[in-house]
Amino acid sequence: MSNLKNRIKLICALIMLESPIHILIGFYKKKQNLILQQKYGFDKWHLSPVEHRPYSLWAVKKIKQICHAEQLSSVVDVGCGLGNIISKIPAPKRYGFDISKEVIEAAKEKHFSSDIWFEAGSFDDISGMNIDMLIALNFTHTIEPVALKKYFNDICGKNTIKYIVVDSHPLGEFFHNYSDILSGRGGGGYCLLNESPPQHTSHGSYIQIWQMK
């Protein structure tokens, strides 16, 4: 019964956000992801396409708007998985990092015709870059707050980052207060630019976009 309720909520959220066509596209992409999963053996969590995640669709829409308005050139996606989000962002320089070597190899195959640079790694492997947009979605709820704060402290200290996109899940292992994590970073810190409406998330989770002050 709970699975049925979750599916109904998903369909309603997708219809409110964009168009029911996302549901059909999502089912097709999920089948493609399953083929890659069987070949490379990455975690099954990555099977879910962006089209079946209303909050991810909201994030992609808002990131695109900022990219077009400010002509951003460099976007980095930490925890990129199969590259489902970074592949939708219109930027000349796109980089995807994930700690899973298996999912990175699958992402390279999935987006073989694109110019996205995929590499196995995480926050610690990024330095000396001018990053217009840093995306860190769908995995930080597994990291302890003290450790996550250190990760952001280090990556902001080793790079110049204009925007940061993050999320938090109340039902995840850890729920993060990004005001505490980001407000003191980057030479004056970051300020909250935008936050996803409740109808585009579930269980009280949210996505936030932070901008360097």
Residue 51 CA to residue 67 CA, distance in Å, equals 20
Given the DSSP bridges, would you call strands 93-98 and 74-78 parallel, antiparallel or unpaired?
parallel
Q: What percentage of the chain has pLDDT greater than the value 70? A: 85
Taking alpha carbons only, the member of 17, 120, 21, 116 closest to residue 60 is 17
More confident residue, 53 or 22: 53
On average, the pLDDT of the chain sits at: 87
In the chain, % helix, strand, coil (3-state, to 5) comes to 45, 20, 30
Domains of the chain (ranges, CATH numbers)? 52-212 (3.40.50.150)
- Residue 17: which pLDDT band, with cuts at 50, 70 and 90? very low
**pLDDT recorded at residue 22:** 67
**Cβ 60 vs Cβ 88: under 8 Å:** yes
Separation of alpha carbons 74 and 97, rounded Å: 14
Angle (CA) 199 204 210, round 5°: 85
CA–CA gap between residue 134 and residue 74 (Å, rounded)? 9
Instruction: Tell me the average pLDDT across 9-33.
Output: 68
Here the tokens at position 115 are 């110019």
Give per-residue pLDDT as tens, 184-207: 665 568 999 999 886 555 566 789
Q: For the residues 16-22, what does the mean pLDDT come to? A: 58
- pTM tops 0.85, yes or no: yes
**pLDDT, position 14:** 47
> According to the model, what pLDDT value does residue 56 have?
86
What confidence tens digit (pLDDT) does each residue in 165-180 have?
999 887 778 888 899 8
Question: Which of residues 47 and 17 earns the better pLDDT score?
Answer: 47
